Amino acid sequence: MFLFDSNSKCATPMVAGAAVAAAAIAGRYGILAWQAFKARPIVPRMRKFYEGGFQAAMTRREAALILGVRERVVAEKVKEAHRRVMVANHPDAGGSHYLASKINEAKDIMLGKSNNSDSAF
């Protein structure tokens, strides 16, 4: 006589017990997976701002990254980007004098007014 014989009366409770155990194990695994998912650090998918320190002499690439524009862009876009970034970092509004000078230097480089670092900092 087999354990799971169709004539046996103990096959049904055993299958039900195995199903309950499987559901409990799957539920526990699901809870642990959810907790691990919620505990993971939030990493932005896109970088919105320029990360890193400033170079000794600002390049056109660095100036474009600071202003958030492409390296080859028209003057109106540079002025608009400068205004937007400067409003967020102006010293009168709680921003840094150093950052304001770097933003102004970036605008000058993008507009072709200056090729060297005239920053006081």
Q: Mark whether 31 and 78 lie in a shared domain.
A: no
Q: Mark whether 13 and 61 lie in a shared domain.
A: no
Task: Select from 104, 76, 109, 107 the least CA-distant residue to 90.
Answer: 104
Q: Quick: pLDDT tens for 18-37.
A: 999 999 999 999 999 999 99
Whether pTM exceeds 0.85:
no
Q: Quick: pLDDT tens for 56-82.
A: 888 899 899 889 999 899 999 999 999
Could you list the residue range(s) of the whole structural domain that residue 79 is in?
Answer: 44-121
Q: Mark whether 28 and 61 lie in a shared domain.
A: no
Q: Mark whether 48 and 31 lie in a shared domain.
A: no
Crossing angle (nearest 10°) for helices 75-89 and 60-67: 60
Q: Mark whether 82 and 94 lie in a shared domain.
A: yes
CATH number (domain holding residue 76):
1.10.287.110
Q: What's the structural domain count of the chain?
A: 2
Q: Quick: pLDDT tens for 86-115.
A: 998 888 888 889 989 999 999 999 998 865
